[in-house]
Amino acid sequence: MPSKNFERSVKFYEGKTQNGISVWLPLVDVSLITPSNSRISLPLLFDTGASVITLRADLYPLLGLRSWDEGLKVQTGTGGGQVDAYQYTATIEVFGKSIQCPIQLLPTLPLHPLFCGLLGRDTVFNEFGFGFWESTHELFVTESP
């Protein structure tokens, strides 16, 4: 059986539901490279169900935009059904790699105290291998899958 070696681990953070039930969230610190070449740190939820990186629409100034809805209008699926989002291309740095990838701004993404968006699969996940152990709240990353 092949051996899987991981160089990095992702910390899980405990969140609480409205009923006070604990949920453990794998949060990844991503640096967004702005058009002015500065870096903005964004905590994102590692989400294998998200197609692309998705940010709250109110974060549009970080992408150098005048409004959240200047980009390519796309339909995206959410837990509540299909909604309109606007897609852009941006450069991020995650797990030590710079990656140019699609980012969607979504007006219906709710505010959350621990993260400001979702780390989705498109482009980003192709660069890495992941090991996920839910029962122990562990997520491991390799840069050479």
Residue by residue, DSSP assigns 73-102 as: EEEEEETTEEEEEEEEEEEEEETTEEEEEE
- Does the pLDDT of residue 1 top 50, yes or no? no
Question: With bands split at pLDDT 50, 70 and 90, how would you rate the model's confidence at 59?
Answer: very high
**15 exposure class (CB count in 10 Å sphere: 0-12, 13-18, 19+):** middle
Question: With bands split at pLDDT 50, 70 and 90, how would you rate the model's confidence at 134?
Answer: confident
Residue-level pLDDT at 2: 52
DSSP-based helix, strand, coil % in the chain, nearest 5: 10, 50, 40
Per-residue pLDDT of 73-104, as tens digits, reads 999 877 777 889 999 999 999 999 999 999 99
- Does the pLDDT of residue 43 top 50, yes or no? yes
Fold of 27-126: Cathepsin D, subunit A; domain 1 (2.40.70)
Q: For residues 101 and 39, is the Cβ–Cβ distance under 8 A? A: no
Quick one: what percent of the chain has pLDDT higher than 90?
A: 79
From CA 28, how far away is CA 44, in angstroms rounded?
Answer: 5
